[in-house]
Amino acid sequence: MIGQVINALVTPFNENGEIDYEEVRRLLQIGKENCNDAFVVGSTTGEGTSLSLEEKRNLYIFCKENTSLECIYALNCLSLKKAKEEYDNIKDLNISYFLIVTPFYVLPSQDGLLLYYKELAKYLSPSKIILYNVPKRTGVNLSFYTIKKLIKTCPNIVALKECSTDKNLIHLLKKNFPSFLVFIGNDDYVFEALESGADGIISVISIIYGKEMQSIIKDYKYGIKAELLISYIKFISSIVFASSNPCGIKHLLERRGEKSMNLRIPLVKITSNDDSFNILL
């Protein structure tokens, strides 16, 4: 298992819009100190779709060289052809894990999603694949039956990042496929997901609050519901995610003294003097 608290790493950009690698190094250290088990590089939180293939490749290499934790490569493409082309650009890096989002905007059917992941599983083998289901952002939803077919036919599809509140999906997957890993992708929903059988979380706020996430999971395994801590995480999430991700987490990191928390257009910085962030400092 790659861990139970995985951080979706932000990508720091300096005033010239370039990746600030010294800040990347610092964030990797902060994430490790805050008890994250692994990092996702170039995901939604990392503004992966705004990175060129060269930038994304170099960023992944840098992360691998500057942390002892597992680094997961996020593959965010609209088509099988584009996904294969991106993989061809980085296959020499021998990446162990990929987080692959459902193709967005084009609204594929369940049959299309099945073929997309089956073809990629074959093309990327022996690398392991984490399916990424985020209906709010992509407009499509991986069904239980599609995931079931993928698990049965693609041995290197080993996990799911589920960004919804569908407790029934998590329950069905863990009941029928106990060894298949399910990570919740909603920071405010971690306890409810654990109740349904989830194995952990791929989190935005764990860069700062990883210890708290680990504590919630540990307590749950001992039969304890850490109600105050759960409420605290929900409160933090309500502030950070009031704006589009990663605007909120970058604003919070900047307010805590981190550098190069700029965003690439069309995302823009939070400019209002929002007092709600003050309580998190």
Contact 63, 19 (CB under 8 A): no
| Selected catalytic residue, list 87, 161, 209, 250 | 161
The answer, yes or no, to whether the previous bond of 135 is cis (omega within 30 of 0) is no
Report the relative pairing of strands 5-8 and 200-203 from DSSP bridges: parallel
> Do the beta carbons of residue 131 and residue 159 sit within 8 Å?
yes
Is 161 an active-site residue? Answer: yes
Closest to 56 in 3D by CA, of 37, 38, 31, 75: 75
**In the numeric block, which tokens belong to residue 226?**
């850490």
Cα gap 100→117, rounded to integer Å = 8
Question: Alpha carbon 26 to chain centroid distance?
Answer: 19
Angle (nearest 5°) at CA 41 between 250 and 116: 120
| Maximum alpha-carbon separation in the chain | 52
Give the span between the Cα atoms of 13 and 18, in whole angstroms: 5
Task: Please say if 174 is a catalytic residue.
Answer: no
148-187 CB burial, b ≥16 within 10 A, e <16: ebbbeebeebbbbbbbbebbebbbbbbeeeeebbbbbbbb
Q: Which of 97, 117, 132, 189 is the catalytic position? A: 132
Q: Which amino acid is at 121?
A: A
Catalytic residues: 132, 161
